[in-house]
């Protein structure tokens, strides 16, 4: 991890900028390779993440790891984070104030890593980053916004309640892997503005 990312990590761990700091066990900074071409962004830490202080280490994390491997990504080579770094009580969705307050950390992560593409996991991250209400229309597609390329897929936790989505996230990440290959080779890709 780079010195700059390590500094963000330390700021997150000691952060008390919003009330989620009062109920968390551990803040959960992003984790992974600072040199990555792709960042995966989820909603917020869950119970296991809160206990361990690491993102995507519970059941949803296992599903994500499986899908990454299926698609040809190596988990240690990419970077995974959330729009909100502390667990909301009872896994409720983070509210707008919490998302806005925590956004400074995600912005720093994006500025430092400067990924070629950002993979949005699920509706909450989609709503926060692209102001969308539901991912259905743009799932599996690339969207360009503010000079960033985004790819949209389901949140791995959704598979716990809807097992049919397991193959959907696997196929989406495979599509993302192919898109990233094209971007790196300078080949044209289809972009939805």
Residues near ligand SF4 (CB under 6 A): 12, 15-18, 20-21, 27, 84-86, 98, 101-102
Using alpha carbons, select from 105, 3, 132, 108 the residue that is nearest to residue 44. Answer: 105
Nearest CB to ligand SF4, comparing residues 85 and 170: 85
Neighbouring residues of 152: CB distance < 8 A, sequence distance ≥ 6 = 119, 120, 126, 130, 135, 138, 139, 140, 141, 143
CB of 99: closest distance to ligand SF4 in angstroms?
9
Cα 186 to Cα 88: distance, rounded to the nearest angstrom = 41
- Say how far residue 64 (Cα) sits from the centre of its chain: 11
Q: Please, which residue, 97 or 162, has the CB nearer to ligand SF4?
A: 97
Closest to ligand SF4 by CB, 18 or 113: 18
Q: Which residue has the tokens 């080579």?
A: 77
For the CB of residue 51, give the shortest distance to ligand SF4 in the complex, in Å. 15
Q: How far is the CB of 156 from ligand SF4 (least distance, A)?
A: 20
Name the residue nearer to ligand SF4 (CB basis): 18 or 71. 18
H or E element in which residue 160 lies: helix 158-161
Report, in Å, the least distance between residue 48 CB and ligand SF4: 17
């Amino acid at each position: 991890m780079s010195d700059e990312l390590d500094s963000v990590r330390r700021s997150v761990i000691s952060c008390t900028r919003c009330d989620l700091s009062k109920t968390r066990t551990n803040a959960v900074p992003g984790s992974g390779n600072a040199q990555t071409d792709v960042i995966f962004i989820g909603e917020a830490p869950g119970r296991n993440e809160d206990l361990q202080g690491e993102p995507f280490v519970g059941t949803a994390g296992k599903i994500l790891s499986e899908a990454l491997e299926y698609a040809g990504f190596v988990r240690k080579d990419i970077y995974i984070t959330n729009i909100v770094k502390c667990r909301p009580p009872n896994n409720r969705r983070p509210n707008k104030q919490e998302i806005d307050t925590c956004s400074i950390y995600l912005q720093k992560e994006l500025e430092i890593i400067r990924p070629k593409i950002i993979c949005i996991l699920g509706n909450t991250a989609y709503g926060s980053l692209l102001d969308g209400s539901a991912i259905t229309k743009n799932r599996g597609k690339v969207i360009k916004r503010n000079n960033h390329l985004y790819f949209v897929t389901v949140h791995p936790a959704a598979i716990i309640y809807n097992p049919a989505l397991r193959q959907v996230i696997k196929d989406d990440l495979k599509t993302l892997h192919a898109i990233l290959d094209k971007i790196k080779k300078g080949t044209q890709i289809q972009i939805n503005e």
